[in-house]
Amino acid sequence: MRTLISILLLLVCVLPVASQTVDAVVVQSTTEVDCRDMRNTRISEQRVYRLLHERASDMAQFAIGCSKWQKLADFNGQVTDATGKVIRKFKKGDLMRSELSSSFAEDFYTLSLDYTPPSYPITIEFNWVTEANNGNFGLPTFAPIEAYNTQVDHASYVLTAPAQMACRYQCRNTADQVTQSTLGDGRIRYEAHMDNLPAIDNEPYSPSARETLPHILWAPGKFELHGVSGDMTTWQGFGAWIYSLLKGQQELSPEFKAQLHAMTDTCTSDRSKVEVIYNYLAQTTRYVSIQLGIGGWQPFPASEVCRTGFGDCKGLTNYLCAMMHEVGIPANYVVIRNDQRSLVTEFPSNQFNHAIAQVPLPGDTLWLECTASAFVPLGYVHENIAGNDALLIDDNGGHLVKLPAYTPEQNVSYNKAHVTLQDDGSAKVDADMRYECRQYEDLLPLMSRTEQQRRDAMLSGINLSAVTLGDFTFTEHKQSYTTPHIDVSMQLETRKLANITGSRMFVPVGIFHKITVPRALQQRVQPVSIDYGYVDIDTLVVTIPEGYVVETLPQSASEVTLLGELSQTFEAADNTVTVVTRHLMRDGRYPATDYATLRNLKTAVKRAYDQRIVLRRK
C-alpha cells in the first residue's frame, strides 16, 4: 500500500544533519502490519504530530490511496491546542473522496482531509486502519522522518506474517535492529523501533532520501497479487513472475502482421526497421495510464492496444516488443524506476514504476521510451531513465542492467551573441543558441507551448533588463540516431545594456546565465551529489560604439577542479571585443569536504559572468 509516508520516502530529499530549527515533532508514529494470510492484510497506524511553525502545516493534512481491494476500515483524529484543550475532532465521514486522476481507467481513489491549524504550537493526532484482500505484494516501509526540520520522539513498526511468506527486511542508514519471534499460531512477528531522531536540516546538493534517510525496507519472499503467485527473493525469480504476466499478451492479428511486413520488408537494415516501427507507434498511439486490477502489472494485449490506439507504459512497451518480434527484431521488456538512479540491488523487491523496451541490435543497443515516442527521438535516453538501474525481463527471468548516461560534454549549450553597442548604453543583440542532449531535453516541454510562451521562457533566461524581443525562431532537430538538439535564434533590443559613468561605459559579459552560489555551511556532513553534468560555451562579440575605446579588459579566468572547470578569455581587435567563456560541471558523488570546492567554483563562475568591459570616451 502506498501511504503518504512511503511516498515521502521516495520523493523528499532529506539529510541526516542535526537541524537548529525544529518546525515539528513526531511525538508518536506507530505502524502495525498484520498479514493474516497470503491475500489479506490489515494495517493499523497512528501519528501524533506537534506542529511548532506554519512551515509544518502540510503535516496537518491527511491523505490515503484506496481501491476496491484496499479500503480504509476506520479513521479518527483530533486537534489539541497549546493548553491541551481538544479543539477539533475528525471522523471517517469528514474525509473527502476524489477519483480525479490522469489515468484513463483506475481502480484507485483518494480519501483526504484538508485542515488548516488556527495557531501554533498545536498537536494533531490521526488514527486509521486499512484492509487489503488482493495479496501481499508490497509492505510499507518504516520511515518515521517525514519532512525537513522534523524530529521524531518515538516510532515503532510491527509486522506479523505467515512463515511461508519468508518476509525479508533491510535496515538502511540506521543502527536500529529488528527483533524476530515466532507466535503460537506459527506466524512470525518482526518488531523495530526508532526513537529520539533529531530534526534534519537540508544541505544543498544532497544525495537522495533513500541513500541518507534512516529507514527499513520490507518485502515478502513468497507473494501473491490478484491470485498470481510469485517469488521475489531473487531478481531472477521476480523477473520470472513478470514474464509470466506477459505470456499470451503479444498476439497480433493476421491482418496487422501483414501490414507490418508491408511496412518493413523493403527496409535495408534492422535499424531502419526499428525506425519504421517506432515512428508508427508514435503516429498511431497515445499514452493513457490504465491501472485496472492486475493491469497495474500486466499489460493489455498487444492486439487491444493496436485496436484502440492507446495504452499505458506496459501496454505500449509490450505492443512495441510484439511488433519488433513479428518482423524479426529482438526486443525485451524492461521495468525501471524513472525517478531514481540506483536500485537497492542487494534487496530484490518491487522498486519499479515504469516500463520501457530494449532492442539489442548488433553493435548498438537501443533503449526505447514508448510512452513519449512522439516526442523523444529514437535512440535518445531521456533524463528520467538515463544511467538508471533496471530489470530486463526474458524467458530466463529478470536480469539487472544499467542504462547508458550522457557525459557532461554531450549535455552542451552553445551560446553566441553579437552585441552592437550604442553610445548611450543601448544595444541590439543577435543571439544564436544550440542545446544538446540534457540541455535539449530541458527545453523540450516548450515544443508543446504557444509561440508567446516560448518567447517568454527564453527571454526570462537572458540576463538583461529593459529588453524587447524581435525576430525569434525555436527549432527542434531530432533525426533518428543523431544528437538531438534545439536551435534558438533571437533578436533583442535593450535600452540599457551598459552603464555610463562620466566618460566611461561598463559593459557586462554574462548575458546568457543567472548564476547562484549555494549557501555556506558551518559543517558539511553529507557527500556532494551532482546529478546533472553539463558544459556551457558562450561567445560574446561586442562592437564598440564610435567615439569609444577599450580602457580595461577583465582578467582572463581559469579554474580547474575535480567537480568542474571554468575558463574565460578576452580579446580586443579593431572595434570589437570577443569574450569566450566555458563552464563545465561534472556529475558524480564527491566527499563532503568538496562542498567548499563546489562553492568556490560557483563563486568563480558567478564572478566571471559578472565581469565588465570598461570603455572610455575618446
pLDDT along the chain (618 residues), means of 10: 33 46 95 96 98 95 92 97 96 90 64 96 98 92 91 98 96 94 96 94 84 92 93 97 95 97 96 96 88 74 94 94 97 95 95 95 94 84 95 97 96 97 96 96 93 95 92 91 91 95 95 93 91 96 96 95 98 96 97 97 96 95
- Write out the three cell numbers for 280: 508508427
Using CA atoms, how far apart are residues 584 and 605, in angstroms rounded to an integer? 10
- Write out the three cell numbers for 222: 513468497
Using CA atoms, how far apart are residues 618 and 614, in angstroms rounded to an integer? 13
In CATH, the number for domain 412-617 is 2.60.120.1130
Question: What are 495-528's pLDDT values in tens digits?
Answer: 999 999 999 999 999 999 989 999 999 889 889 9
Domains of the chain: which residue ranges? Answer: 4-229, 234-402, 412-617
Long-range contacts of 310-313 (CB under 8 A, 24+ apart): 310/104, 310/285, 310/286, 311/285, 311/287, 312/103, 312/287, 312/288, 312/371, 313/287, 313/354, 313/355, 313/356, 313/370, 313/371
Q: Check the CA dihedral 259-263-265-269 and report its sign.
A: negative
- If residue 281 lies in a helix (H) or strand (E), which one and from where to where? helix 270-284
pLDDT of residue 291: 63
pLDDT of residue 8: 34
DSSP state of 56: G
Matching residue, cell 506496459? 314
Matching residue, cell 543497443? 365
Overall fold of domain 234-402 = C8orf32 fold (3.10.620)
- If residue 560 lies in a helix (H) or strand (E), which one and from where to where? strand 557-560
Overall fold of domain 4-229 = Immunoglobulin-like (2.60.40)
pLDDT of residue 11: 32
- Write out the three cell numbers for 7: 511516498
Say what the pTM is: 0.90
Decide if 415 contacts 439 (C-beta within 8 A): no
Using CA atoms, how far apart are residues 374 and 278, in angstroms rounded to an integer? 9
pLDDT of residue 159: 98
- Write out the three cell numbers for 273: 526497421
By three-state DSSP, how is residue 523 classified?
Answer: coil
Decide if 147 contacts 56 (C-beta within 8 A): yes
Decide if 500 contacts 424 (C-beta within 8 A): yes
Q: Check the CA dihedral 440-445-447-449 and report its sign.
A: negative
Decide if 388 contacts 531 (C-beta within 8 A): no
In order, the DSSP letters of 297-309 are TSPPPHHHHHHHS
Decide if 526 contacts 16 (C-beta within 8 A): yes
Using CA atoms, how far apart are residues 65 and 7, in angstroms rounded to an integer? 11
> 466: Cβ–Cβ under 8 A, 6 or more apart, which residues?
494, 495, 496
Question: What are 207-260's pLDDT values in tens digits?
Answer: 887 788 899 999 999 999 988 999 999 999 999 999 999 999 999 999 999 999
Amino acid in the structure at residue 183: L
- Write out the three cell numbers for 106: 483506475
pLDDT of residue 93: 96
